[in-house]
Amino acid sequence: MSSTLKFIEYCEKCFALWPEDESVSKCPNTSCSGQRYRGNPLKKVKKSFILTSCLLKEQLKAILDRDGMWEKVLNVIKSRESNNGDCITDVTDGKRYRELCQPGGVLHGTENLTIIFNTDGVALYKSSRIEIWPVYVAINEIPAKERFQCKNVALWGLWQGKGKPPTYAFTKPLVEALREIAIDGLMLTSGKRIKFYTLISTMDLIAKAQILCMNQHNGFHGCSTCLIKGVHEKNVHVYPYSEAIDQKKSAKRNDEKTFNDAIKAISSGQKVNGIKGPSSLHLIPEFSITDGVVPDYMHGVLLGVAKVLVACWFDPSEHRIFYKENRTYPEYYIGHMIHDVDVRLEGMRPVDYISRRPRPLSGNLGHLKANELRTWLLYYSLPCLEGILLPIYWNHLALLVEATHILLGEKISKTDLEWANDCLQLFYKYFSEFYERRKSGLNIHNLIHLPLYVEYWGPLWAYSCFGFESLNGSIIKQVHGTKNGSTQIIKTFNALKAIHIMMQSQNTKEIVRNALSSMLMKNRRLANYLCLIFVSIIN
């Protein structure tokens, strides 16, 4: 696999992309006075740039050419053709996916595939504000258990700099790469020509607003699904249920209206329905900018709603306003009983598929990870809070737990989907009544949209950020020293892919087996350590 690296530079003043001709020194935007930086951007840490790895086609081809992978993909395609859509089990059962499989659709009668992409900011160094924004691409037709493994995910490239990447400069080359694999496709070793259509993009709220070129969650019209405006109250922006049920104020967005709003925003110089301007994602074939950019369950439900509830119940700092106004704590506050909850947590015996034992809440409220909040919400919260939290709040929490369990299920029927929708509607309706109204942010509002996206694209786990966030943690570990961090990341990622390919060779397996056998006779501990390394690489 090629390891060619390509820099994509842009003007620091107007963010226009520089041409590949390095002799051009003046900004291509005639109204801008920006000058091109001379030298290697990697040698100037403060420089912002986009770095792409080898061609996206090559990575996808290497994934599908691996022994046995194409047969697994064909099995998924056959299962989607035999499914009548009564039960939702994966992306291939979603309503939007099935529409593309109908006569006239790009997936009808073909072996074309679909992809999901993700991007998010990651701190490159602990001692600076420099971030990287890697862009991952995964194939939806790969079996769910293998879909987000490192060896089955492609890294298109990354942006490095301070703050957030400029929308146009960052998305334009990405969209060009996604258009290329959709229009031209790629040729597998077997001689099959496959086209890849981008269907889903999953991001947190901040990255989503940046990529879609629209207001963030703390601004008017911050929802990418509907036109709810929200209101400013006590220095926060909230999305009340009363406005959400008003059909005129919260009508669903669609691609055509969103594009028209973007054109109006450019011509008028003002935001229209929260849209600042057109997004390059409009140019991706078969991609819906309103239906395809999904709300993420990890950031929204867990790090959003579940974390807010835990803070409301146990964190006294959340209720300083009651101190100032000489009022007692609200009746849902149970911080004085947190040790009783910890005793129940310590008595929990999690099943084997839950890898992390529960930590006590006291002392860890601000440090709970997403997978800890997942097990807390789905398994521990109701038994630990029964008899401690007042019944009205306990029953309210049960609505969220029930709906989340359903939407994460392996098989979701239409009846299940309707029941989950009813539960989330009730949870949203009473949240601002039971808790402080200022807590009704965009994550609370987005709960009522989750059943719609499950109907469109399958269960919440099928496009969750969990797999991509795990990759973020892995690639940051590949950075050693303070120079050329981005280059180290991409080269190491490509090297791992090359090792995966090599390990498919029978000769390589024999060499490794013989080497480990001889080493086992001399140093058992070292041999066992190397075995673990090779097993982790293969998996």
State the helix-helix crossing angle for 414-434 and 391-407, rounded to 10 degrees.
150
**Pairwise CA distance, residues 7 & 160, whole Å:** 11
Nearest to residue 437, comparing CAs of 250, 240, 254?
Answer: 240
Biggest distance spanned by C-alpha atoms of the chain: 76
Q: Taking Cα atoms as reference points, which of 136, 302, 309, 299 lies closest to residue 205? A: 299
Q: What pLDDT score was predicted for residue 532?
A: 56
Dihedral, CA of residue 511, residue 514, residue 517 and residue 523, to nearest 10: -60
Strands 87-88 and 412-413, how do they pair? antiparallel
Beta strands 412-413 and 196-203, pairing class: unpaired
When comparing pLDDT for 111 and 536, which is higher? 111
Least confident of 76-85, 239-248, 257-266, 367-376: 76-85
Which stretch of 1-10, 137-146, 230-239, 419-428 has the lowest confidence by average pLDDT? 1-10
Q: Which of 453, 377, 458 is nearest to 411 (CA)?
A: 458
Domain ranges of the chain: 54-229+250-292, 298-457, 505-538
Q: Region 50-61: what's the mean pLDDT?
A: 82
| Residue 335 neighbours by CB under 8 Å, 6+ apart | 313, 314, 315, 316, 329
pLDDT tens per residue across span 358-409? 889 988 888 899 999 999 999 999 999 999 999 999 999 999 999 999 999 9
Do residues 132 and 119 touch, judged by C-beta distance below 8 A?
A: no
Please answer whether residues 277 and 262 qualify as being in contact, where contact means their C-beta atoms are separated by less than 8 angstroms.
yes
Residue 418's contacts (CB-CB under 8 Å, 6 or more residues apart) are 451
State how far the Cα of 518 lies from the Cα of 191, in Å rounded to an integer.
41
Read off the pTM. Answer: 0.89
Candidates 212, 200, 194; CA nearest to 273 is 212
Tell me if 137 sits within 8 A of 114, measured CB to CB.
Answer: no
Q: Which of 84-88, 242-246, 302-306 has the highest mean pLDDT?
A: 302-306
Query: Which pLDDT band holds residue 44 (cuts at 50, 70, 90)?
Result: low
Relative to beta strand 293-295, strand 196-203 is parallel
Measured between alpha carbons, how far is 168 from 466 in angstroms, rounded to an integer?
27
Q: Which residue has the tokens 């700099």?
A: 161
CA angle 471, 208, 476 (to 5 degrees): 25
From the list 396, 422, 429, 395, the residue with the least C-alpha distance to 407 is 422
User: What pLDDT band is residue 514 in, cutting at 50, 70 and 90?
Assistant: low
531 against 208, higher pLDDT: 208
> Per mean pLDDT, which range of 67-81, 216-230, 448-462 is the poorest?
67-81
Q: How many CB atoms lie within 10 A of CB 489?
A: 25
Whole-number pLDDT of residue 327:
60
> Where is pLDDT greater, at 481 or 109?
109
Q: In 395-407, which positions are buried (b, 16+ CB within 10 angstroms) versus exposed (e)? A: ebbbbbbbbbebb
Give the burial string for 38-60 (b: 16+ CB within 10 Å, else e). eeebbeebebbbbbbbbbbbbbb
Q: Is the pLDDT of residue 511 over 70?
A: no
State the average pLDDT over residues 340-367.
86
Alpha carbons 51 and 487: distance in angstroms, whole number: 8
* β-bridge pairing 113-119 and 196-203: parallel
Task: Retrieve residue 280's tokens.
Answer: 């390059």
If you search the block for the tokens 């601002």, which residue do you land on?
432
Q: What are phi and psi of 201, to 5 degrees?
A: -130, 130
Percent of the chain with pLDDT over 70: 86
Q: Which residues pair with 52 in a beta bridge?
A: 6, 157
pLDDT at residue 538 tops 60: no
| Mean pLDDT score, 484-488 | 79
